[in-house]
Each structure stands twice: as C-alpha cells, then as structure tokens.
Amino acid sequence: MRNFRPARITPLVALLAVSGCTMGPDFHAPEAPAVTGYTASPLPATTQSTPVALGSAQHFETVSTQGNEQWWHSFGSPKLNRLIDEAFAANPTIAAAQATLQQAQQTLAAQRGSTLYPRANLNLSGERMLFNPAAFGQPGQSSIFNLYNANVGVSYLFDLFGANRRSLEAYAAQSDYQAHELRAARLTLAGNLVTAAMTEAGIAAQIEATQQILDIQRRQLDIARQRQSIGALGLADVLSLQTQMEQTRATLPPLNERMQQEHHLIATLCGKTPGEFQPVDFTLADFHLPEHLPQVVPSQLVRQRPDIQAAEAMLHSANAQYGSAVAGLYPQINLTGSLGQESLTTGSLFNPQAAVWSLAAQLTQPLFDAGLHAGVLAARANLEAVGANYRQTVLQAFRNVADALRALDDDAQTLNADANADNAAQASQDLVGQQYRLGSASYLQWLTAQQQAQQTRINLIGAQTLRLTDTAALYQAMGGAWIPDQDKPSVQSRSGEANLAVYFRSHAQYAMPFTSPWTQEVTL
C-alpha cells in the first residue's frame, strides 16, 4: 500500500468519467458489391450505329465522379428544363420532403440541446404552512407561516456509457435519411417528367402519322367507290378498304386518350390540376440524344444513388439505436444542484442570510428489468432487418442499371432495323411514285406505297421514343449521373440532328403535288 497515490489516481478517474465510453458497435458504411460490371457478359463500349438524324451511336464512359443534379439538361430542351424547374417549386411531394427534412433537422437540434448540455430552470414558489411541534415529539404551539423560495436548479444526466450519444447519432442518421429522401424525390420527379414529355412527343408523332395514313386510306376508298360505280371494282374490295380505314380511325381515340393522360400527369407533377395547367406541346425535335453516357463504377453507385444512401442512413440509425439499447443496461449518473434564497418573508428573501444550496449525485444501476434485455434483442433484430433491406435496395439498384444498359444496346439495334425498314419503304414509295408519273403504276399503287411508308414511320417513331426514355432511365438509375461537356448542347448548337422531321424530309417528298384522273391536286 505504500505505492498508492490517490492524487495520481483521481485525475485518471476524472478523465474516464468525463470521456466516458460508447456502448454498441460503431457504424461503418457497408462495402459496395465486389463486382466490376453490372451485367454477366460485358456490354459493348458503343451501341450500334444509327442514322445521325436519329441520334447516332451512344458511347458508354466509365466515371467515378459525383452525379449531376440537373442531368436532364443533357437532352438540350429548354422547354423541358423550364418545366422541371416549375415542378420543383410547386410539386407537393417535394414540399413534403423538404418539410420532413426540416422537421428531422430541428428534432436533432432539440435532442442535442437537451442531452449534451445541462438543464437550468428558474423556480419561484410561495407556500403557506402549518407547523405542529407535537408531530416531532416536541412541546409547543402549532404555528402558521409563509415560506418563499427562489432558486436556480441545474441537472445533467451524465452520459457515462453513451446512451445519449447513441441516441443523437440515430437522430442524425434519420436527418441524413430525410435529406437523401429529398434527393430521391427530386430524382423521381425529374425522371417522371422527362419520360412523360418524351412519351407525349412520341404519341404526337404517332397521331400525325396515323392521320396521314387515314387520309391516304380515305383517298383509296374514294377511288374504289368511283371504280365500283363504273363496274371496274367489286363491292367486296370497297368494303375491305372501308374496313381498313375504320380500323385506322379506331386507333386515334386511344392515342388521343394517352396524350391527354400524359398532359394530366405532367400537370399533377407540376402541382396543378389538369384544368388550370397549360399543356406544353413537346415534339421529338425538342430532344437531343446524348452521345456520351455515364457508366458509374459500382463502388461509386452506392455513394451516389439517393435510395441506397437513404437505406444506408436507416442502417446507421438502427445501429445507433442498438447501441443505445445496450447502454441502457449500464449505470446512469444524474447530477443535480440548486442555488437560491429561502425566507419566511418576501422582504428578506434576497438577504445573504437566506441563501440555500444543494448538490446531489445519483447513480442508477438496473438490477432486474425483464424488458431491458428484450429491448436489446428487439433493437438487434431491427438492425438485422434494416441491413437486409439495405442489401435488397443495392440489389435492386444494380438491377435497374443493368436493365437500362441492356435496353440502350437493344434500343440501338431496334432503331437501326426500323431505320433500314424505313429506308426501304421510302425507296419503294419513291420508285412507285416515279412509275406512277410515267404511267406504269396506278394511283392506288402509289397510295399503297405511301401507306406502307407511314406504317413504317410509326414503328420508327416508337423506337426513337423508347431510346430517348431508356436514356433518361439510365441517368435516373445512375442517380443523376455526370454530364460530359460535349453533351450540354446550347439552343444555338442544336441544329436539329435529332429532329425526326429532318430525317423524313431527307428520305421522302411528302409535299410533292401531283395530279390524277380521279382527284384534283393533292398535297401529302
């Protein structure tokens, strides 16, 4: 005992008491899946080449930089950019996510203020009391008097084993979760608007092509009726042409309905009712197809996609809650103190002789509480469940990216095949048109060639629209990914390379006037 030095031990104990310890496992962000690619077989670095007017080939570039919050600018549509800006300002889902984030941040601030710092309260009290000495075995008369008290009380729950720190860690993680949820809401809103705008443009082009087909079929039917009237054609042929025309006419109402539904969807996303929203008429010419596409490395994807980051924040919160539950099994120290004045009269309440103070420390160690252990097990089970949800979110994200990458490669092949078919249909139309002008083909044959060309055009429109929407889906799957400088076209530089109308005008003479023995001048 001669080596015992209380003066040396006391500072060490004080240091341990001040620093304390934090129970439960510290949180570490999960590792990204140990993969180098998103698909089982490698994808080509460049999609199949397509006609330049339809967007040309797209190149995948591996990047590891932070995503761009305005990825939709890569499509070079000022109308789309303005629409999304308006939606961000008025969409109720975004407003709710912003308010929820603010609530989480203020809740964190409130919990931090109430747990990290002591509490101080001013207390003022006045009492009228009856004192009877006989209650204490003392002689004397009972007396009635007033007792006045004014004091400042201070209390502090000493966080020796980190229960409060773990709780604050959980609140901070929940605040992070809401921040990522806001990013996810913005990403989803932008993706839905981009897809709706492109779909609307594709439907508008299909309606235009269908109306042209209907006009051609109407002319065919008129000619057939004239030929029937002179006995050159049977009634069955006329009825067959009429059936085709009515079948084509029947496709227009569903297309118009889909168009209106897209209008209503865009209005809702912009925070307006369909009745008060002024539709924005999009065409395929409004969109530039990016030639350089980001392929975010897997290790960066888990740091970039807001849904994965939100799931990670929930995992962090569950880990901290588990640590807080474990800390509840250990002792708690509560320090309290007060300093004030106490007097029988208000006049002498603030005299130095009326000063009173108290200082107390209380240690509480749970000895038996059947619920505490069950609470720890419940927190542990919750941590495992949230961990499983995180893994599922990551798997779903990688699936989204793989689907988008495969879709773009397939879209390019489909578009190329449809473009070849369109070229053949246009060449057939031009050939029959020349034969008609030379008198070796009938007007009906030429109308039939035009109808086939328009049918091919509808397929080409669908392929181009799908390629645009799948490109947007890739940006969304990447979490709003990087935009190269060369894919930020200005209004002046967008000279219509992605303009479908330019492509068609370069392959067919739709506005060529002609005359026939059956009709007056017709303009297609």
- Give per-residue pLDDT as tens, 306-359: 999 999 999 999 999 998 888 888 887 888 877 777 766 666 666 777 677 778
Single-letter amino acid code for the residue at 105: Q
The pLDDT, as a whole number, for residue 140 is: 73
pLDDT the model gives residue 66: 59
- What phi and psi, each to the nearest 5 degrees, are found at residue 112? -65, -45
Enter the tokens of residue 431. 């050939």
CB 152 within 8 A of CB 120: yes
SS3 35: coil
CA-to-CA distance for 369 and 380, rounded, in angstroms?
18
Token digits of residue 432? 């029959």
Q: Where in the chain are the domains?
A: 23-119+160-329+374-505
Let me know: does 93 contact 199? Beta carbons within 8 Å. no
Residues 421, 54: Cα–Cα separation, whole Å: 14
Integer CA distances (angstroms), 499 to 53, 374, 495, in order: 6, 65, 9
pLDDT of residue 28: 87
pLDDT at 369: 75
pLDDT of residue 17: 45
Residues facing 127 on adjacent strands: 147
> Angle 377-380-382 (CA atoms, 0-180°, nearest 5)?
110
Question: Given 3.40.1180.10, 2.40.30.10, 1.20.1600.10, 2.40.50.100, which CATH number is that of 23-119+160-329+374-505?
Answer: 1.20.1600.10
What tens digit of pLDDT does each residue of 87-142 get?
999 999 999 999 999 999 999 998 888 888 888 888 877 787 877 777 777 777 77
Q: What is the pLDDT of residue 7?
A: 40
**Residue ranges for the chain with pLDDT beneath 50:** 1-19, 483-524
pLDDT at 14: 43
